Amino acid sequence: MRQKRGRWGIIIGILLLGAVLLLWILVWPGKERSLNAGNSTHSVRKIMADLRYERRIKLIREELDTAKEEEYAHLFLSMYPISSYDTYYISYWRGLETFKAEMVMENGRELAGTLEYLDSLSIVPETVFLGLDPECLEEEYPLETSLLPMIRETPGTSWEIFVANPSMDYWREKEEKECQAVIDRYEKAIASLVQEENAKVFFACDKEWLVCNSSNYAQQKMPTEDVATMLLAYYIRGEYQLTLDNLEQRMTAARELIADWYEDDRTLAGMEDTTLLFIGDSTFGNFTGSLAVTGVVEAFTGAEVLNCGYGGMAAAYGDPQCPALGDLLQAIDREDSSGIDPKENVPPAVQTAAVLKQTVAQGENMVIFLVFGINDYIKGFPVSSEDPYDTDTYAGALRTGIEELKGMFPQAQLVLMSPNFIIYNQYGTNPVGEGAYVFTDYVKTVLELAEEYALPVLDNYGELGIDRDNAAEYLQDEVHLNEAGRFEMGMRILELLNGYSNSANQNERIDKRPENHTYPHAVSQASLAILPK
């Protein structure tokens, strides 16, 4: 019995000693113990790093073995998580059946080891999509001794390098000096890569719409699936590419963006109990998630956001194939979506409208945003007639809609929004309909109705900073805003909600408008009294 107790005592002692040693390694990783092996001295830390490297590189090699066995000619490797990137879209858009490695190369050593093993397998892929994180490159394993030689030794391989785009939350966790040091590492790595003929480098860390909206990210360096797909679309089209010519400008823009947002948290507090209802056309209705106008507003307010936007919908009646504003209001009032849309499936806008009264009652702590005009112009509907409530006209339909909404939700705050700048029909200068209306006639009508009813108004046409010179930067086609444009509209809505719509930033945009354009003031003096101060 004593002998057994002694053995158990020895076992327990060994376990306790091991636990203490492990704790020592974890709590004091900087403290080194010397283990002599011949003439070499190794730290416990280095031994642990070596063991981790061997374990991880083995898994990476197994994935590369699979790629070789299946004879993939296109590979997707990364130093940051890429599980949200779907290679289906690379195949669909480029016709490249691509093998994506799930193992992430955590540092320069793993990158170097991966490239060495790739070379040893005699794999010479036609394309390598490489997610690069310059922050994780150690001095001992620079690109000059790993990636750059591989690029130069494979002139027939196209290297498409996607540099990591961390979220603004990631940058805020660092000290300012550290932020600058990391960006310096980015610029140094990129500067060496853009000189290689068979390498293309893509980067989006200077894009406000991406970096500054935390809802775009599943992890701080990995976007959500929708956003990853959007980034892939840009990259595959050759946009957001860094070159020797634009490197300095783009990196300066990234530095300025991070500095501008670093201490400026634009999230609006106290809006969790507020409902924001968006009624309109494809400006709201064609987009969902964090990339939509509604998604941007939701991310920065935490409010309940309801989207009743419907692509193709006009304010006025006249299109039998698509509901008008009045139809949507009927669905709200009757709490019934039947008969509103000729399509078989009731669209989300109408579904939301049909249960709206149950959700918001009389509209306490509710703000309703109303935007129409693009489809009224495209379809040539009259701007107005002698009857101010003629719902076959743009002004009459809006006026009727305003009064019906005020009647249904008397405690709600209504905000009018003008349609955004368009390229369609010679920037909206070609007359349409019997009245030969131009696009600005519809814009002017919204501003006049806002004054008539003393309602706040956002002049998206005049105050988003979009004009003939830069429209391609903010529109995805001749009409619809792209991600940058929708983010900008979301920011203008936030400014109104926060009560600083006439901020210095907005005044700066006003100053940059074309000299030959004159626009009414963006926001009426009506206040959003229901919102928290």
**What one-character-per-residue DSSP string does 397-459 give?**
HHHHHHHHHHHH-TTSEEEEEPPPP--HHHHHTS-BTTTTB-HHHHHHHHHHHHHHTT--EE-
Residues 250 and 297 in one domain: no
**How sure is the predictor about 515, in pLDDT bands with cuts at 50, 70 and 90?**
very low
Residues 357 and 497 in one domain: yes
d(Cα 234, Cα 213) in Å, to the nearest integer?
A: 18
Best CA proximity match to 288, nearest among 241, 357, 354, 226: 226
Higher pLDDT, 122 or 487: 487
d(Cα 13, Cα 188) in Å, to the nearest integer?
A: 52
**CATH number of the domain within which 159 lies:** 3.40.50.1110
Domain assignment present for residue 382? The answer is: yes
Domain assignment present for residue 179? The answer is: yes
Task: Read off the tokens for 474.
Answer: 């903010």
> Has residue 192 got a pLDDT over 50?
yes
pLDDT tens sequence across 145-160: 999 999 999 999 999 9
**464: amino acid identity, one letter:** L
> Has residue 531 got a pLDDT over 90?
no
Residues 209 and 251 in one domain: yes
143: DSSP letter: G
> Has residue 507 got a pLDDT over 70?
no
**Angle at CA of residue 225, ends 233 and 257, nearest 5°:** 70
d(Cα 511, Cα 8) in Å, to the nearest integer?
A: 82
**What integer pLDDT is reported at residue 426 of this predicted model?**
97
Virtual torsion, Cα 348, 350, 355, 357, nearest 10 deg: 130
> What proportion of the chain, given as a percentage, has pLDDT over 70?
85
Range of 346's domain? 275-511
Domain assignment present for residue 206? The answer is: yes
**What integer pLDDT is reported at residue 58 of this predicted model?**
95
> Has residue 422 got a pLDDT over 90?
yes
pLDDT tens sequence across 263-294: 888 999 889 999 999 999 999 999 999 999 99
Domain assignment present for residue 85? The answer is: yes
The answer to whether 303 and 271 are in contact (CB under 8 A) is yes
Question: Three-state DSSP class for 345?
Answer: coil
> Has residue 298 got a pLDDT over 90?
yes
Q: Which residues contact 332 (CB under 8 A, 6 or more apart)?
A: 353, 354, 356, 357, 408
Residues 317 and 248 in one domain: no
pLDDT tens sequence across 86-95: 999 999 999 9
The answer to whether 337 and 354 are in contact (CB under 8 A) is yes
267: DSSP letter: P
Buried/exposed code over 62-82 (b: 16+ C-beta within 10 A; e: otherwise): ebbeebeeeebebbbbbbbbb
Domain assignment present for residue 268? The answer is: no
Mean pLDDT, the chain, as a whole number?
A: 88
Q: Which residues contact 83 (CB under 8 A, 6 or more apart)?
A: 102, 222
Domain boundary among 228, 262, 296: 262
495: DSSP letter: H
The answer to whether 283 and 458 are in contact (CB under 8 A) is no
Residues 225 and 352 in one domain: no
Residues 228 and 340 in one domain: no
d(Cα 314, Cα 322) in Å, to the nearest integer?
A: 8
**What integer pLDDT is reported at residue 123 of this predicted model?**
86
Domain boundary among 219, 239, 262: 262
d(Cα 252, Cα 324) in Å, to the nearest integer?
A: 46
pLDDT tens sequence across 166-183: 999 999 999 999 999 999
Domain assignment present for residue 521? The answer is: no
Question: Three-state DSSP class for 101?
Answer: coil
d(Cα 275, Cα 268) in Å, to the nearest integer?
A: 14
Domain assignment present for residue 306? The answer is: yes
**Angle at CA of residue 249, ends 248 and 255, nearest 5°:** 85
**What integer pLDDT is reported at residue 263 of this predicted model?**
86
Question: Three-state DSSP class for 30?
Answer: coil
Domain boundary among 213, 228, 262: 262
**What integer pLDDT is reported at residue 518 of this predicted model?**
35
Beta-sheet pairing, 74-78 with 127-132: parallel
**What integer pLDDT is reported at residue 94 of this predicted model?**
94
Tell me the backbone φ, ψ of residue 10, rounded to 5 degrees: -65, -45
**What integer pLDDT is reported at residue 162 of this predicted model?**
98
Whether the CA torsion 495, 501, 504, 509 is positive or negative: it is positive
Mean pLDDT of 246-253: 97
> Has residue 116 got a pLDDT over 90?
yes
HEC states along 361-411?
Answer: CCCCCEEEEEECCHHHHHCCCCCCCCCCCCCCCHHHHHHHHHHHHHHHCCC
**How sure is the predictor about 25, in pLDDT bands with cuts at 50, 70 and 90?**
low
> Has residue 442 got a pLDDT over 70?
yes
Which of 33-47, 293-307, 328-342: highest mean pLDDT? 293-307
d(Cα 348, Cα 329) in Å, to the nearest integer?
A: 14
Residues 218 and 283 in one domain: no
Number of domains observed in the structure of the chain: 2
d(Cα 219, Cα 5) in Å, to the nearest integer?
A: 51
Task: Read off the tokens for 196.
Answer: 């290689």
**How sure is the predictor about 31, in pLDDT bands with cuts at 50, 70 and 90?**
very low
> What proportion of the chain, given as a percentage, has pLDDT over 90?
76
* Strand intervals (E) in 164-267: 199-202, 217-219, 222-223, 241-242
d(Cα 533, Cα 523) in Å, to the nearest integer?
A: 19
The answer to whether 383 and 393 are in contact (CB under 8 A) is yes
> Has residue 361 got a pLDDT over 70?
yes
Residues 408 and 442 in one domain: yes
The answer to whether 47 and 98 are in contact (CB under 8 A) is no
Task: Read off the tokens for 194.
Answer: 């853009």
Residues 207 and 288 in one domain: no
Residues 258 and 393 in one domain: no
Half-sphere exposure of 136 (CA within 13 A, CB side): 19
Domain assignment present for residue 134? The answer is: yes
Residues 333 and 192 in one domain: no
d(Cα 343, Cα 340) in Å, to the nearest integer?
A: 9
134: DSSP letter: G
Mean pLDDT of 486-500: 90
**What integer pLDDT is reported at residue 35 of this predicted model?**
41
Residues 58 and 160 in one domain: yes
Mean pLDDT of 229-237: 94
Beta-sheet pairing, 35-37 with 40-42: antiparallel
**What integer pLDDT is reported at residue 511 of this predicted model?**
37
> Has residue 500 got a pLDDT over 90?
no
**What integer pLDDT is reported at residue 37 of this predicted model?**
44
